[in-house]
């Protein structure tokens, strides 16, 4: 029991580091643009590069885990996140800042797909609950970095320090991971023939799950990257826009806590996914109408938080062992994050071309409608859920 507790703590602290490199940028994006002379399209790369890394390098993480073990790769990846983040303390040019995003993105990319296999391996009977812990840690890391970015900038009079000091959290997490996890898993690497892990590129169902995850990621990262500037364009202050971004992230925490309980009572993945997608759709319509940005942000946060958790559950539902869960999750996140990375870039390009976020938000509305159709397909097959739930 004590061992399980240490593993949960290690997973929680490690997961805290998967969003600060991305979310700490958004509240300061306008200042960074002005200071470095970046266009909106170029500035969008600060969010898109880490997300794109999560897509392109997830398959390599799976192969590396097959050779050296998922526990070891996650530990190394935390160090890489720390290195990429600490470089930002010296980011006085666009090139250095983009390189820091690339390095941090490599570390984030290696951890994301391996956590599903880690959870399946060590907590096979408690997957929804541990996924909730993972989602809560992810959300807390995102909320803290979003909420503290502006205060840190004000305190240190430097946006570089506001986004670079998060390296401390990554290095602490790396030390805790090696203490709590690696010694416990020594000698177990490759016990299940992990080198033979292959991504299910030819599996139709795996592709449907990937598209579901990708459309969700596209909307989430677009919203995260540009929400403050969208709200400022509507006529509100920078401090109010930062508050809305914080609300967007924080509201996902209680929902992640409640979701496993609701799944036990109503286990249908389709019910919750479509409901949460409708919340996002309503939110975007309200933004176009410039009605109550706080309420719109709240609705989007509720929808996005639940969808992310449910998308993580789908590959675990569809597989029967840790290796398959890892490979399906890696494919889902690989192609899914590539799709997601295009969102902030597309919004930045549309804004540069139209000088308005309204056309971009209308595009997000169309994507959310398409996402609902994909989710129905992703949960269409009546299949026994290894976790005791129902896909439909």
Give 299's pLDDT tier (boundaries 50, 70, 90): very high
Residue 269 lies in a domain: yes
Q: Is the pLDDT of residue 193 over 60?
A: no
pTM, two decimal places: 0.75
Residue range 370-385: average pLDDT? Answer: 78
Is residue 300 included in any domain, yes or no? yes
- Asked if residue 163 is part of any domain, the answer here is yes
The CA dihedral of 40, 41, 46, 52, to the nearest 10 degrees, is 150
- Position 194 in a domain: no
pLDDT score recorded for residue 381: 63
Residues 388-392 have a mean pLDDT of: 52
Q: What is the CATH number of the domain that holds 336?
A: 1.20.1250.20
Q: What is the mean pLDDT of the chain?
A: 86
Domain count, the chain: 1
Separation of first and last alpha carbons in the chain: 34
> Residue 312: which domain range?
2-185+202-378
Mean pLDDT within 131-157: 89
3-state secondary structure 303-344: HHHHHHHHHHHHHHHHCCCHHHHHHHHHHHHHHHHHHHHHHH
Answer for the pair 47, 225: CB distance below 8 angstroms, yes or no. yes
- Assigned domain for 367 exists: yes
Main-chain dihedrals φ then ψ at residue 214, nearest 5 degrees? -65, -45
Residue 365 lies inside a defined structural domain of this protein:
yes
Q: At what angle do helices 94-122 and 58-68 cross, to 10 degrees?
A: 50
Nearest to 325 by CA among 209, 232, 243: 209
Strand partners, 268: 390
Which residue did the predictor score with more confidence, 338 or 12? 12
Residue 188 confidence class, pLDDT cut points 50, 70, 90: very low
290 occurs within a structural domain: yes
Residue 36 in this model has a pLDDT that exceeds 70: yes
pLDDT band at 55 (very low <50, low <70, confident <90, very high): confident
Determine the pLDDT at residue 343.
87
Assigned domain for 112 exists: yes
Query: CA torsion 242→243→246→252, rounded to 10°?
Result: -140
Instruction: Say if CB 146 and CB 249 are below 8 A apart.
Output: yes
């Amino acid at each position: 029991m004590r061992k399980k507790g240490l593993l949960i703590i290690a997973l929680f602290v490690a997961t805290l580091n998967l969003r600060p490199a991305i979310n700490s940028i958004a509240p300061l994006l306008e200042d960074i643009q002005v200071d470095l002379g970046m266009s909106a399209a170029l500035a969008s790369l600060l969010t898109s590069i880490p997300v794109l890394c999560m897509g392109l390098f997830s398959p390599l993480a799976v192969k590396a885990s097959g050779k050296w073990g998922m526990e070891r790769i996650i530990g190394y990846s935390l160090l890489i996140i720390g290195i990429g983040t600490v470089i930002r303390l010296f980011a006085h040019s666009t090139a250095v800042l983009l390189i820091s995003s690339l390095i941090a993105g490599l570390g984030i990319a290696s951890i994301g797909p391996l956590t599903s296999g880690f959870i399946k391996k060590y907590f096979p009977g408690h997957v929804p609950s541990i996924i909730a812990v993972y989602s809560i840690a992810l959300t807390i890391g995102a909320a803290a970095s979003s909420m503290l970015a502006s205060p840190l900038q004000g305190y240190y009079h430097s946006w570089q320090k506001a986004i670079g000091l998060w390296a401390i959290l990554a290095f602490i997490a790396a030390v805790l991971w090696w203490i709590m996890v690696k010694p416990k898993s020594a000698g177990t690497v490759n016990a299940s023939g992990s080198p033979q892990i292959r991504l299910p590129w030819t599996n139709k169902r795996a592709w449907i799950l990937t598209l579901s995850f990708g459309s969700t990621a596209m909307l989430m990262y677009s919203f995260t990257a540009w929400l403050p500037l969208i709200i400022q364009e509507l006529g509100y202050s920078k401090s109010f826009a930062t508050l809305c971004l914080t609300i967007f992230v924080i509201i996902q925490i209680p929902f992640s806590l409640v979701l496993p309980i609701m799944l036990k009572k109503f286990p249908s993945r389709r019910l919750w996914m479509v409901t949460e997608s409708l919340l996002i759709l309503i939110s975007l319509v309200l933004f176009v109408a410039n009605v109550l940005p706080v309420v719109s942000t709240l609705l989007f946060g509720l929808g996005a938080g639940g969808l992310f958790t449910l998308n993580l559950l789908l590959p675990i539902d569809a597989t029967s062992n840790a290796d398959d869960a890892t490979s399906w999750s890696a494919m889902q996140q690989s192609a899914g994050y590539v799709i997601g990375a295009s969102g902030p870039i597309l919004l930045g390009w549309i804004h540069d071309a139209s000088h308005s976020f309204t056309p971009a938000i209308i595009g997000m509305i169309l994507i959310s409608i398409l996402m609902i159709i994909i989710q129905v397909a992703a949960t269409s097959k009546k299949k026994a859920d290894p976790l005791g739930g129902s896909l439909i």
